[in-house]
Amino acid sequence: MHRILAYLDEAVTSLWRNRVRSLLTMLGMIIGSASIITVFGISRATTSGIASTFGSFGTFPVVVQADPAQDYPSIAQIHYDDVRTVARALQGITPWVIPEWNRTYLTTFGNKHDYPSVIASSGFHDDGIAMQQGRKLTQEDVNSAAHVCVITADLGAEYFGTGNALGNYLRINGGRYRVVGVYSNIRGSFLNSLVGSSTVAIPYTTFHRDVDPSPPDYILIYAPSGTEETAGKLAIAALQRIHGPGAKYVTQNTADLLKSFENVLNIVGVGLAAIGGVALVVAGIGIMNIMLVSVTERTREIGIRKAGGASRNDIALQFLMESGVLALVGGGIGMAIGVLVTVGGASLLSQQLGEMIIPYAFIVSLAVGFSIVVGVLFGTYPALRAARLAPIAALRA
C-alpha cells in the first residue's frame, strides 16, 4: 500500500508540473462524464416521476371496443345491456365491468359555465388520488342512479372559488347534480392537464338513464394484474355470442401503454448517453496521446529508474497511475457538474411531471466506473510502451 501511495504522489506531482496540459486533457472527461450523468439522471428521474404519478391512478383498465377497421362496424355496436352479459362472463375474474362514454356537455353553476368532459364512473376506487373536499362516488350511488357528481380541482376553483363546493348543484346537460366531492390536483401540471383536468364524474347508471341513453363507446374492465389478457378474450367471446361471430372487437391494456412509454424513455436515455459516450472515447484518446507524449519526454528518466533497479511493472504502474488520476479527476469534476444539472433539471420537470426520484447511487457509480475504465483502457498502451523501453537505449535518448 505504501508503494502505491508513493506512485500516486509521484503521479500527482508529475501532472501538476504540467497542470495546463493536464487540465486541457481532462476537459474531454469532464464533458463526457457530465453529459452521461445528466442524460441518465434526468431520464431515470423522469421515468420514476411519470410512473409514480400514473401509479396513483390505481388499476388500469382493459378497454374493449368495436373494431373500427371491420367492414360493417354497426353490427359490433356495444349496447348498454351488453355490459351485464360481459360482467357475467367475467364473474370469476372481476366484478368491475363498466360502460364508458366520451362526452362533453355544457355544465353551469349560476352564471358560470364550461364544457368539461363528463365521464361515467362506478364505486370501484383503488387509486391514491386524494380528495380536496368530500368523497368519491360509491357503489350505492351507482345502484340508486343518484344525481351526484365528483369534480376535479380546477372546476371546483372555477365554479366555487375558494369556497365549499359540497352540497352545491351543477346543471349538466339540463339535469341537476349535487357535488359530493372535489379531487385534489394530480401531482404535476402536465399530467394534470393530460388526464385529470376539467372532468365531472357521475354514476354510470345515472349517465345512461338521464344524460345520454345512446350506446356506450367502449367497456372498461378492471381486472387483477396478470388476468388482463384472459379478461379481454372472455369479454370478446361474450360480445360475439350476442352480436355474432362476424362482429370484431379489439382490446387495449392501458397498463401496457404505460410500460411502453417507460421503455421509450429508457431507450431514448440510453441513446443520448451513447452519444455522450463518444465524448468519453475522445477523452480517452486524448489521455492516451498525452501519456505517449509524456513517455517520450521522460525517456531518460525511465532509463535512470530502470538502471536503478525499477522493474517493468514499476514503470507501467507509474504511468498507469498518471492516466488513472487524469481520468478520475476529470470524471469527478464531470460528475459534480452532471449531478448539479440533474438536480436542477429534475426540479424544473417535477413541476410538470410530479415528484421525481434521482438515482444518486446509480449515476455516481456510473461516473466512477466509466472513469476507471477510460483511465485503464487508454492508459495501458503508453504504460506498456514505457515499461518495454531498454534501459541503455533510454539513457542514450
Residue 174 has pLDDT above 60, yes or no: yes
SS (H, E, C) 145-212: CCCEEEECHHHHHHHHCCCCCCCCEEEECCEEEEEEEEECCCCCHHHHHHHCCCEEEEEHHHHHHHHC
What percent of the chain stands above pLDDT 90?
A: 16
Q: pTM of this prediction?
A: 0.64
Among candidate residues 183, 155, 184, 185, the one with its CA nearest the CA of residue 170: 155
Q: Where are the domains of the chain?
A: 2-55+259-396, 62-254
Is residue 219 a contact partner of residue 235, using CB atoms and an 8 Å limit? yes
Q: How far is CA 239 from CA 68, 86, 205, in A?
A: 15, 7, 20
Residue 205 has pLDDT above 90, yes or no: yes
Among candidate residues 371, 374, 352, 369, the one with its CA nearest the CA of residue 42: 352
User: Per-residue pLDDT tens for 34-71?
Assistant: 888 888 788 777 777 776 666 666 677 888 988 888 88
3-state helix, strand, coil in the chain (%, to 5): 60, 15, 25
Q: Kindly indicate the confidence band of residue 109, based on its pLDDT and cuts at 50, 70 and 90.
A: very high
Q: Share the mean pLDDT of the chain.
A: 82
Give the rounded distance of the alpha carbon of 351 from its chain centre.
15
Q: Which residues of 341-353 are buried (b: 16+ CB within 10 A; e: fewer)?
A: bbeebbeebbeeb
User: Per-residue pLDDT tens for 227-282?
Assistant: 888 888 999 999 999 998 888 998 888 767 777 767 777 777 777 767 767 777 88
